[in-house]
Structure 1
Amino acid sequence: MNSILSDLNHLIEGEVSNKEADLREVSQDFGNIIQKQPLIVVRPQNSTDIAKAIKYAADQELTISSRAAGHSLSGQSLNQDGILLDMRNLNQIHEFDLDKLWYKADAGVTWKQVVDTSIPHGVIPPVLTNNFEVTLGGTLSAGGLGLSSFRYGSQADNCLGLEVVTGTGDIVWCTPEENSELFYHVLCGYGQFGIITKVQNRLRKFRPFTRTYFLCYDDLEHLLNDEVFLISEGLIDGLVSLFSPCLLGFSRGSEKRIKPLIQWFYRMQFTLEVNNLNKIKEHKILSELNYYRHIYTEELNFDKFIQPISQVPHPVETANSWIDVLLPMSVAKEYIDIALERLPSFIDFRTVPVGSFCLVSGNTKMPMFPLPDEELIIGLGMYPTIPKSQVKPVVEQLNLLTDLGFQMGGKRYMATWTEFDLPRWRLQFGNYWSKVNEIKRKYDPNGILNPGFFKYEEVAQTNVNRTYIQTH
């Protein structure tokens, strides 16, 4: 340990620590389900620090992982007995090109920094998640979905260029045209093929006013059909739906079980972004929809509309076992009905946020972000925050819902809770799985980058004395 600390201190300009408090700070992520503790924490000052740390890790047969806000749910940003790169010191915005609508920044810059810089100039990133405190590198490694993803894709789809340090310690600038193979696999690649150090991302101009309609549905099929209509006709700029259970009583079944009688209601929120609120043809839009009740209309300036409503609470001794299932539109109602029927059997359904969102496959083109084989995709999100004592039974049921999604042609958004064995990884990527393994061998031949999340095929290497990836 002392020799590793000494070696890295001599190699690296940034901070190097093995203090217990520093190690403990990076030993769990937002999910609070997986815990791992590295030997060393490195806070790099530049890309060269990261390259030197990776080369050192390869020489010493140590694993190395990157982390910033630590907002992963399945341990993607953790490391066990290796080197953890804390990326938060890489936090500078370098360029803002208002004519060509792009900016260039370090991977540790938060989306709040970008928004605070861009809004006064009348521009904004095309896609924003509901958490501005996470970093560019973190969400681009995962995908990054928001209210406008049906129109603009994921945050990764709006990336124009990346500086990446590969698993061999090479510093590479890559774009869709230059080093494109690395570009398209580092995005949504969870640090498996290289560590993002700088990004160049797209901006767009925004209109100054927003109007959001809150519509209540008592029929899931009507909700889904209306979502598809609004998206297909290009009528809206933002969309999300939230599900609310109403407990209407209890039934005594034949097996002497008490069963809750639940009526689900569905609240769709869609937003129009406009130059003039008076020119919105409200009746024309609403008359085409089959909602149960128009609950509320909210008008906000754009800069206020995009701000997250609140921070997600994270009580002590709780875990966030959240999942997003991506479903072909043709089976979405069937799957959601089954999931809502099962939910009360393993969790207090009254406390679990549940909702849906939409994607269009033509706008989400990252190969490391697998999608169902249909143009219109419905995402179902279930976001339980539970006592840690309940993690095992709840996760078992969520894994069964994941498997059901695969059986029905769905995929998983891997930024949420993911517990995949090899068969699940093969289902997630389908025929592309062999390519994922090939790219891993090419850019991380020693298998040292962000281990323990992906479970790769075991492949013997002739140039090293061990398997290139740990499969546990």
Structure 2
Amino acid sequence: MNSIISDIKCIVEGEVTNTPEILGDVSQDFGRIIQKQPQLVVRPQNSADVVQVVKYALEQGLTISPRAGGNSLGGQCLNQDGIVLDMRNFNQIHEIQKEMLWFQADTGVTWREVIVSSLPHGLIPPSLTNYIDATLGGTHSAGGLGNSSFRYGTQADNCLGLEVVTGTGELVWCTPEENSELFYHVLCGYGQFGIITQVRHRLRRYRPSTRTYFLLYDNLDAFLNDKQVLTQQGRIDYLLSVPNSCLELFSKAVRKPLMQWFYLLQVTVEADSTNSINDEEVLSGLNFYRHIHTQDLNFDEFVIPALKVGAPSNTVHPWIDLLIPGSKAKTYIQTVLERLPSILDCGNTLIGSFCLFQHTTNMPMFRVPDEDFIVGLGIYPIIPKSQLQPVLAELESLTELGLKMGAKRYLTGWVKFDLQQWRVQFGDYWSTVNEIKRKYDPQGILNPGFFQYERVAHPHEIYKQQTHLTEDAIAKSRSVA
């Protein structure tokens, strides 16, 4: 170990350490379900450091996992017995192009920092996740979904260029036109094909005023239909929706909780002024149970949310998101809401629903159902660790049900796929994923332990096997003689 540390210190400008405190800090992520401890942590200062560490890892047979905020939920940024690259020193916004409508920044920059820098120019990234303290590298590696993704696609869909270090130690600039194969697989690729060091991303001009309508539904059909109408007709700019259990009864006859579910739909319109917004036009033909509230905010107040992601240190977070075909959304959501009360306190469990259109996303690694209108459903428990196993078992069962109905998992959450489930998740594209992995990370050193690839023998292994077979054949012929 001391030799490895001294070797890497000689080839990088950044910090190299294996102190128990630092290793402990990177041994779990926000999910707190999985623990993995690397041999050491490298905090690179620049892209050249990343290149040197990758090349060293190749020589020594070590694995590498990039990490910044550690906001994954299923161990996606963890590493066992290898190297964690702490990317938090990659924290500079290099350029904001007001005329060309893009910015360029390091992978460890947070979306909050981008927003604060772009707002004074009248600009904003088209899609923002609800948690804006996530980093650029993290959400581009995952996809990045938010309450305007139905209009603008994922954050990855708005990426214009990436600086990437591949699993062979090559530093590459890639765009949709230049090194496009790498570009389209590093995006939403969870660090499997390359390590993002810098991002160029689209900006748009925003309008200064917003109006948000809070609409309550007691009917799932009406709720789903109105979401589709509002988004397909382009009446709104942002949508957030939350199923919420209002009343819980316990029946001795059925021996399970009986829930009355309501559905909150929060929709927002951007405008040059609130006076120009026509409420009747926005809400025309909708079938909500009650219009609870209307809120007017300046854009800067609206776009920086009050949401803080935090939880007691003794809890775990087995969160999942599914992307469901619109035609199956009612059946699937009803099933979920019937089953959840048996394992979770639904009054204290956040459930979110969003929507997306297949035609707004063209990222091959971001898998979506084979329908244009897609309904997202997220289940976000914060529970004591003692409750974890039955909750995971139920979430895995609901995942399997979703996959059978044509849904896909958004892979940021808790994921425990076997090889067959990976094949279902990627469908006919699975063989291409394996080919791209072998091309850009032939020794499998990047972010191991998350994807389960098809087992293909390394050329060196094939040579050894053939040599052993030949030797065995010679030995056998001698014994016969």
Deviations 1:385-443 (A, max 9, x none): 11111111101100000000001010000011111111111110000000000000000
Cα deviation for residue 260 of structure 1 reads 1.9
* Structure 1 position 357 matched with structure 2 position 354: yes
Residue 92 (structure 2) aligns with: 92
Q: Find the partner of 1:402 among 383, 399, 404.
A: 399
Residue 468 (structure 2) aligns with: none
Q: Secondary structure at the match of 1:341?
A: helix
1:192-207 alignment, distance < 5 Å: 192-207=192-207
Deviations 1:360-393 (A, max 9, x none): 1111110000000000000011100111111111
* Structure 1 position 81 matched with structure 2 position 78: no
Tell me if the contact between 2:257 and 2:342 (Cα under 8 Å) persists in the aligned partners.
no
| Cα gap change, 1:465 to 1:314, in 2 (>3 Å) | farther
Residue 128 (structure 1) aligns with: 128
| Cα gap change, 1:248 to 1:442, in 2 (>3 Å) | closer
Structure 2: how far apart are the matches of 1:201 and 1:98?
Answer: 12
Residue 479 (structure 2) aligns with: none
Which AA in structure 2 matches 1:155? Q
Structure 1: how far apart are the matches of 2:107 and 2:258?
Answer: 48
Cα deviation for residue 350 of structure 1 reads 1.4
Residue 431 (structure 1) aligns with: 428
Structure 2: how far apart are the matches of 1:55 and 1:362?
Answer: 39
1:121-270 alignment, distance < 5 Å: 121-253=121-253, 258-270=255-267
Gapped regions of structure 1 (runs ≥ 5): 468-472
Residue 477 (structure 2) aligns with: none
Structure 1: how far apart are the matches of 2:383 and 2:99?
Answer: 47
Q: Secondary structure at the match of 2:459?
A: coil
Which AA in structure 1 matches 2:83? I
TM-score by structure 2 length?
0.95
Q: Secondary structure at the match of 2:128?
A: coil
Cα deviation for residue 455 of structure 1 reads 0.7
* Structure 1 position 27 matched with structure 2 position 27: yes
1:59-70 alignment, distance < 5 Å: 59-70=59-70
Structure 2: how far apart are the matches of 1:149 and 1:180?
Answer: 23
Residue 300 (structure 2) aligns with: 303
Structure 1: how far apart are the matches of 2:393 and 2:257?
Answer: 22
Residue 316 (structure 1) aligns with: 313
Structure 1: how far apart are the matches of 2:256 and 2:320?
Answer: 25
Residue 470 (structure 1) aligns with: none
Structure 1: how far apart are the matches of 2:292 and 2:107?
Answer: 41
Which AA in structure 1 matches 2:164? V
* Structure 1 position 288 matched with structure 2 position 281: no
Aligned length: 464
Cα deviation for residue 464 of structure 1 reads 5.7
Cα deviation for residue 134 of structure 1 reads 1.3
Residue 472 (structure 2) aligns with: none
Cα deviation for residue 314 of structure 1 reads 1.5
Tell me if the contact between 2:236 and 2:282 (Cα under 8 Å) persists in the aligned partners.
no
Q: Find the partner of 1:370 among 363, 367, 371.
A: 367
Structure 1: how far apart are the matches of 2:249 and 2:345?
Answer: 15
- Structure 1 segments of 4 or more deviating over 4 A? 464-467
Query: What's the RMSD between the two structures over aligned residues?
Result: 1.2
Q: Find the partner of 2:377 among 372, 375, 380.
A: 380
Structure 2: how far apart are the matches of 1:139 and 1:174?
Answer: 17
Deviations 1:8-50 (A, max 9, x none): 0001111000111111111100000011111010000111100
TM-score by structure 1 length?
0.97
When structure 1 is superposed on structure 2, of 124-133 and 206-215 the one drifting more is: 124-133
Structure 2: how far apart are the matches of 1:351 and 1:179?
Answer: 47
Tell me if the contact between 2:164 and 2:172 (Cα under 8 Å) persists in the aligned partners.
yes
Q: Find the partner of 1:271 among 233, 250, 268.
A: 268
Which AA in structure 2 matches 1:375? D
Structure 2: how far apart are the matches of 1:466 and 1:81?
Answer: 27
1:406-425 alignment, distance < 5 Å: 406-425=403-422
Cα deviation for residue 244 of structure 1 reads 1.1
Which structure has the larger Rg?
2
Tell me if the contact between 1:17 and 1:41 (Cα under 8 Å) persists in the aligned partners.
yes
Cα deviation for residue 307 of structure 1 reads 1.1
Percent identity for Structure 1 against Structure 2: 61
Structure 1: how far apart are the matches of 2:334 and 2:386?
Answer: 28
Deviations 1:316-344 (A, max 9, x none): 11111111110000000000000000001
Tell me if the contact between 1:192 and 1:449 (Cα under 8 Å) persists in the aligned partners.
yes
Structure 1: how far apart are the matches of 2:291 and 2:401?
Answer: 34
Which AA in structure 1 matches 2:43? R
Structure 1: how far apart are the matches of 2:380 and 2:372?
Answer: 25
Q: Secondary structure at the match of 1:138?
A: helix
Deviations 1:213-255 (A, max 9, x none): 00000000100000000111111000011111122522222xx
Residue 389 (structure 1) aligns with: 386
Structure 2: how far apart are the matches of 1:277 and 1:347?
Answer: 41
Residue 443 (structure 1) aligns with: 440
| Cα gap change, 1:186 to 1:118, in 2 (>3 Å) | same
Identify, as 1 or 2, the structure richer in helix: 2
Q: Secondary structure at the match of 2:377?
A: strand
Structure 2: how far apart are the matches of 1:443 and 1:135?
Answer: 24
| Cα gap change, 1:304 to 1:466, in 2 (>3 Å) | farther
When structure 1 is superposed on structure 2, of 240-249 and 274-283 the one drifting more is: 240-249
